[in-house]
Amino acid sequence: MENLELAVTSGELSIGSVSILAMSVSSVLLVGDLVRAHLVSVFESPLEAEPNGQDGVSGDG
Amino acid sequence: MGDVRKSVVGELSVLSVDNSSAIEIGDTERLAPVSRVLAVQRQEAIFPFGEFAMRNYAAYSRPVPLPVVAERLVMKRDLPKPPVHVGSIRIIAVSSSVIIQVGSSCELLAESRIKHIRHLFREPPAGAGKEK
């Protein structure tokens, strides 16, 4: 496996203020170093409400 | 992970944290929150026991393509163990499988699978819409 080298010349990290109203599914707020992130979100919703007990998504249920 | 950082946070305010979310101050090797939600909205709130099983829905088992890792990442810093300073963080709400971290991490794996179902009557129930 090949090596990929990341050089950080100044490691100091400073943030004054962070204000967030909302974060949705599989989200990341990170203040620092990160090698790798893998975020997965699967969302199934009917396009419109179906009558008589159907969920509006074919093949499921 | 290598060098660790010192994390300094002046203020952290989070009003609401939902399913499988993580708030972390400091370094971690790996965080992997997983959330699976089955949300059913029904016109009449009758829910027999054992009516829904997650194994019956493909949303929870459908394979997700993983990224191909073809190299190994090595991080080098000039300053040994430099600190992280955060004045303030204010968050009103976070949903499923959210990671909030002040510090360093090697790997973050967040997974959220949500199936949303709505059930409505084909015909209005008897007496519906009639004023008394």
Q: Which chain B residues in 66-125 lie under 8 Å from chain A, judged by CB atoms?
A: 66-67, 69-79, 82-122
Nearest CB to B113 within list A38, A42, A55: A42
Nearest CB to A40 within list B85, B93, B111: B111
Q: What is the pLDDT of residues B74-131, one digit of tens each?
A: 777 676 678 899 999 999 999 999 999 999 888 999 999 999 988 888 777 677 666 6
Nearest CB to A25 within list B71, B87, B95: B95
Q: What is the pLDDT of residues B35-81, one digit of tens each?
A: 999 998 888 888 888 888 899 999 999 998 888 888 887 777 676 67
> Does the predicted interface ipTM exceed a cut of 0.95?
no
Mutate to test the interface with A, among B13, B34, B115, B122 (most CBs of A within 10 A): B115
Q: Would the CB atoms of A35 and B98 count as touching at under 8 Å?
A: no
Between A and B, how many residue pairs show a Cβ–Cβ distance under 8 A?
224
Strands in B1-132 per DSSP E? 7-17, 22-25, 28-31, 34-42, 71-77, 84-94, 99-102, 105-120
Q: What is the pLDDT of residues A1-50, one digit of tens each?
A: 777 777 776 678 899 999 999 999 999 999 988 888 999 999 998 765 45
Q: Which residues pair with B28 in a beta bridge?
A: B105
Are B34 and B111 spatial neighbours (Cβ–Cβ below 8 Å)? yes
Q: Which chain A residues in 32-51 lie under 8 Å from chain B, judged by CB atoms?
A: 32-46, 49-51
Predicted confidence at residue A58, as pLDDT, reads 38
Are A61 and B131 spatial neighbours (Cβ–Cβ below 8 Å)? no
| Three-state secondary structure of chain A | CEEEEEEECCCCEEEEEEEEEEECCCCEEEECCEEEEEEEEEEECCCCCEECCCCCCCCCC
